[in-house]
Structure 1
Amino acid sequence: MNTATSYFSLKPFELLTPFELYAMLQLRNEVFVVEQNCVFQDADNKDQKSIHLMFWENNELIAYCRLLPPGLAYNEMSIGRVVSSPKYRKTGAGRRLIAEAIQLIHQQFGEGPIRIGAQCYLIKFYASFGFIEEGEMYLEDGIEHIEMVRP
């Protein structure tokens, strides 16, 4: 019998608890800095104006992203800092996170296109949610990215 308790939590920056903020930064650092061997400034002053979507299982943060209002990263609303815990990959956690993020970003900021900066190896993943490649591949912190838009 599976007794795991999983749930989503959505909060603006100012309502994050210290525990939630630490878990969010720890997961982002584990994947973006350590696993991807990428030295970059994660604290980019966009967290304070974003809404944070956290996917928890038994009080462990297993996936996370932030929802950015139009005009913060792009002219369109955006989903960023998408990350899944390495321990929970291939479990569907990332799919559940993005499906929830798409629904919630429209609830928060209204209808309209969503623009993301996707790592190129995830193009097919995002395309399965209706995102379409736009523009040319670019390097961000040494990793190939491409902008994608969900009309």
Structure 2
Amino acid sequence: MDSLLVQKALTKEELEKVFAIRKIVFVDEQGCPPELEYENEDVSHHFLALSDYKPCGACRWRKTDAGYKLERFAVLKEFRGCGVGRALVATVLADLPSDAHYIYLNSQLDAVGLYAKFGFVTEGKQFEEAGIQHFKMVKKV
């Protein structure tokens, strides 16, 4: 992997690439119901990761009643372990408004370590979401 770029997905074509990555990772690989996967799209800020100009990862953030929720981090299998997840998290955090006071996410178990590197800590008990075990994680300032 020579060049890795994470950009905001603003065009219809970029959003289609984001949704295609999420379909492969969440719906096809992990068996998430499509109706759960594609909710709140219109109120979310979407991001697309490109490795050597090839789409390889995606994520989003949105404002909720509780604060700012980071969601839908997906990296295509052949790009995992190459820093794509770290680049997505760093870019999304940098994109949040400067007054973002409460930042949280629901992490799949195998991603807890990634988010911990950015100051997130687990909160509460492990729970199931779309058939997959998660922990709620909150960013400590």
Q: Tell me which interval the TM-score lies in, with the shorter structure as reference length.
A: 0.7 to 0.9
Render the CA deviation track for 1:108-136: whole Å, top value 9, x for unaligned: xx231211011122212211111111111
Q: Which residue of 1 aligns with 2:101?
A: 112
Aligned equivalents of 1:145 and 1:87: distance in 2?
Answer: 23
Runs of 4+ in 1 over 3 A off after TM superposition: none
Aligned equivalents of 2:13 and 2:53: distance in 1?
Answer: 10
Q: Which residue of 1 aligns with 2:60?
A: 66
Q: Is the 8 A contact 1:138 1:146 kept in 2?
A: yes
Deviation at 1:138, TM superposition (A): 0.9
Q: Which residue of 2 aligns with 1:6?
A: 4
Q: Which residue of 1 aligns with 2:25?
A: 31
Aligned equivalents of 1:137 and 1:57: distance in 2?
Answer: 33
Tell me the number of residue pairs that the alignment of Structure 1 and Structure 2 aligns.
139
Aligned equivalents of 1:111 and 1:31: distance in 2?
Answer: 28
Aligned equivalents of 1:22 and 1:65: distance in 2?
Answer: 13
Partner of residue 38 from structure 2, selected from 40, 43, 48: 43
Amino acid at match of 1:141: A
Aligned equivalents of 2:13 and 2:135: distance in 1?
Answer: 33
Aligned equivalents of 2:64 and 2:130: distance in 1?
Answer: 24
* Contiguous gaps of at least 5 residues in structure 1: none
Aligned equivalents of 1:145 and 1:43: distance in 2?
Answer: 19
Q: CA RMSD in A?
A: 1.8
* Contiguous gaps of at least 5 residues in structure 2: none
Answering whether residue 94 of structure 2 is matched by residue 96 of structure 1, we say no
Larger Rg: 1
Q: Is the 8 A contact 1:40 1:141 kept in 2?
A: no
After TM superposition, the score normalised by the length of structure 1 is: 0.82
